Structure 1
Amino acid sequence: MARKRGREGRFVSTVEGAEFFKVYLPQFSSHQIRIPPDFTKNFRRALNEKVILKNKDGKTWYVEVKETPEGVFLKDGWPRFVDYHGLKVGEFLVFRYNGSYSFLVQIFGTNGCKKEKFGPQNIATHVKSEVESDNDDSSSVDRSKLFKRFEEEEEDNNNEFPKRPSFVSPPSRRKMLKIPEEVMNNENVHLEAEVNLRNAEGKEWPVNIYTMLNGPTFLGRGLCAFQRDNNVGPKDCCKFIFGNQTTIDVKILRH
């Protein structure tokens, strides 16, 4: 088995195709998952760095690897992987190392068959309830007036944002916010499963993107943290401006 010495004297495996499996048990695996000790003998990495998890559809998640006295774990970023795939107790995950600290993860259901559909269809009921509640809260908001306010403000600021696909919304009182179809249908909008919301100061917050099967797309987990940390009030509104696959700029208009 060929190995080379990496930073800080750690060994980095050069063997692609190495695999390990885990059974998903929420009480142990929802926030972190342990890499088997025998696997880490061949796969070593400097602490507090990241690996890439990729599913069969090619979507990627960056997950931190941390070593503790109990072992080596996939931690920060792992819960987003769990949420997107709607993992359930007893499901079986196979991790295949593809080199360059990248793993292909295959998921098998409790029926023994490989899962073919991921993401929002696994949480469709939750999304529907969140959206219905949010629609009730914001039904009285005149979106055209919000756009007009932003247009006037941007003219005063000498168009600080170039014109890109965007939409305006009052703050979500739930955990989900629907992205309008006209935005998602724009040829310049292609979102990863996780994006960053970036405020005017350049600070970023990771947010999950959920797309229901043959249905709408939502900003999901992480949205509430963005609103809270930026003190977005119930009478404020946000303009979400799309620039690339991984970053959405957000301009907040205070009431």
Structure 2
Amino acid sequence: MDEAFIPDVLPEFFLCFPQTRIPPAFLKFFNGETPALFVLEGPAGKSWQVGVEQIESDLFFKRGWPDFVEENNLEYGDFLTFCYAGNSKLYVKIYEKDGCLKQDQENVHAPAPTDQAANESGNSNVSITLFELVMNEYCLKRKRLTIPAVFGNRFMKRGEEKIATLRTGSDSWQVKVCRDDRFLLRRGIGKFMCDNNLRVGDACRFELIDEEKFIMVVHIRRFPDKVVN
């Protein structure tokens, strides 16, 4: 889907994650009728419904915000801009701490593809057999991980469930993989997180090595500021 067109003239505010407070000075653009529910639309055209809660004179994103955080893999220090287009719609752009726009906003840091075959037009047919996920507070608390659609669409059908074997070294875990509106690693992933002492900021790279048995090798990269006892 083409990137959403955001006119320069829209009123705009920014937040630095994990902030959720809408700047009080911005409320004037709602003309005294602050929406109870906003539609947040990302650059790829995907949208999320997020409610707001008023605490004293301040307004905060609340209901639906955790899903937005998880699916966009928000990390501490990420910079978000919100452009108000009226009718309760906010266009959102997300920038990483290095100032670069996040290219993949579904809880994924996509590594380079492992299998490419260029066709006559110069384009590439890419077979994605690995992906990388960065742990955040929401996914660790809910004990589930969202698999990128580019991977899930290749190996699963809608409504299908599979049991994946995750391996790190000589250890292995059985984890349920399901597909509905999203692709999720669910039952069993909590034990995998606990046994591997995963914390916020840790990155897990999943590499599918056996499609038939759905075996994935997981390489864990620890967040550099964390000390593991």
TM-score, scaled relative to structure 1: 0.43
TM-score, scaled relative to structure 2: 0.47
Instruction: Report the structure, 1 or 2, having the larger strand content.
Output: 2
Instruction: Report the structure, 1 or 2, having the larger helix content.
Output: 1
**Larger Rg over CA atoms:** 1
